[in-house]
Amino acid sequence: MRRKTMTEKEDNFGFRFDNSYMNLPQMFYTEIAANKVTAPAIVIFNRTLADRLDLDANELKEQGAAILSGHEMPSGAAQIAQAYAGHQFSHFNMLGDGRALLIGEHITKDGERYDIQLKGSGRTPYSRGGDGRAALGPMLREFIISEAMHALSIPTTRSLAVTATGDVIYREKALDGAVLTRIAASHLRVGTFQYAAQFGELSDVKALADYAIDRHYPEIRKADNPYIALLETVLEKQAALIAKWQSVGFIHGVMNTDNMTISGETIDYGPCAFMDTYDTSTVFSSIDTQGRYAYGNQPAIAAWNLTRFAESLLPIIHEDEEEAVRLAQGILEKFPSVYEAHYYSEMREKLGLLYPGDQDEQLINDLLQLMEYNDADYTNTFRSLAEGERPNNKLFQSEQFKQWETAWFERIEQQDMTKEETLQVMKSVNPAVIPRNHLVEQSINEFVEGDPSMFAEMLQVLTNP
């Protein structure tokens, strides 16, 4: 069934739904009934985000547990699981929302559109034998990491709430069940386009591309070839996103094509982490034994994923396959230069360099090589530079660093700023704190055991890094 509804009621906690995704061909989703839970209770609530979405924060926090757990549905809810595919560690698979329910596209008073998704809400037709449920710990992890990313000005999905279900789920042991309410510009993925290209008709690929353009990039509708413009725009968004990841030492861990959004938001916080000691080979996924998704490989994997996106678009880029490939290749070849422009812009700012200089890239790369050679902490090194501090460690006490520092000071002197002004700029972009993995795990374990105080303290600190 296809429908498009708009609902605004006083008893709907402020939710106003316009379910445009359901205007796509039926192959892209399955309508499902809500999965009941035993005793829903909100354990953490994002009031700031609720206010940003024009929701009734007080009522939703006090009375919205049944909705935020998927036990009940608000008026006008969509209740769908989205279908998509994807390359997981380079292997193509049919996927889909195996444990998530899209309850609608909420429209703010300013006309902004956001997906409201319940992650861990129960079994769907795409669950592939799983129970569709989620444990409290991983949902708390996504909540705190996504909010930390947002505070660092990195495009990301966000978390409105974590709601305990009162049910026990079984993994290696019995765990408390929970549902995360995820907010996203949309859940359109590279994998959604791969699914359309693999299992649908040409008309399905075109319908999806037109929908993505209208929803995210309506300004390219009038381009000579809007589908080439879509590829180029998504490439730009992803290049900028990965550059921001690299600049703060963030490692996603699982850059499968189903985890790359068309909107350019970071999505799906599984085995991710912020790097401690700078090492380009660092991985944070126990199953990534080959280092495919290591920190240093993330830009190349983004380019690989974008190539899969381009392949899905080929039939609508041009009716002649050779011409379609030529046009797409012309866009894909831009990725290295586009990414490097974003990356070095981010890194210049971290070193207080406010306009490009001929030797900047060499200066940045030399510092990173010294950091890796001396096992330096990534975040603390840049923060120490910003604070004007020189800790007694291998890096800062090495003769090579002192030589680098001299070159850096000479570069700073070329700017029309004092050293103090430069350091202030650096402080504004180099975080003093990041969600250190061991502390995140400790805070989550304590939360699960009944003491949320450390988690709450970390969340407060990380929102002003």
33 by Cβ neighbours in 10 Å (0-12 / 13-18 / 19+) ranks as exposed
Q: How many Å apart are CA 163 and CA 72, to the nearest integer?
A: 13
Q: How many Å apart are CA 310 and CA 257, to the nearest integer?
A: 12
Provide the Cα torsion 40, 43, 48, 52; round to 10°: -20
Q: How many Å apart are CA 391 and CA 433, to the nearest integer?
A: 17
Q: Which of 285, 274, 299, 253 shows the shortest CA–CA distance to 379?
A: 274
Give 87's strand partners: 92
Q: How many Å apart are CA 10 and CA 142, to the nearest integer?
A: 30
Token look-up 């096992």 returns: 375
Q: Which of 20, 81, 69 shows the shortest CA–CA distance to 42?
A: 69
399 by Cβ neighbours in 10 Å (0-12 / 13-18 / 19+) ranks as exposed
Q: Where do runs of H (alpha helix) occur along 257-377?
A: 298-317, 321-332, 335-350, 360-373
**Quick check: 273 and 252 in contact, CB under 8 A?**
no
User: Could you list the active site residues?
Assistant: 258
The token pair at 342 is: 């974003």
Give 184's strand partners: 115
SS3 182: strand
User: Within 13 Å, how many C-alpha atoms sit on residue 242's CB side?
Assistant: 30
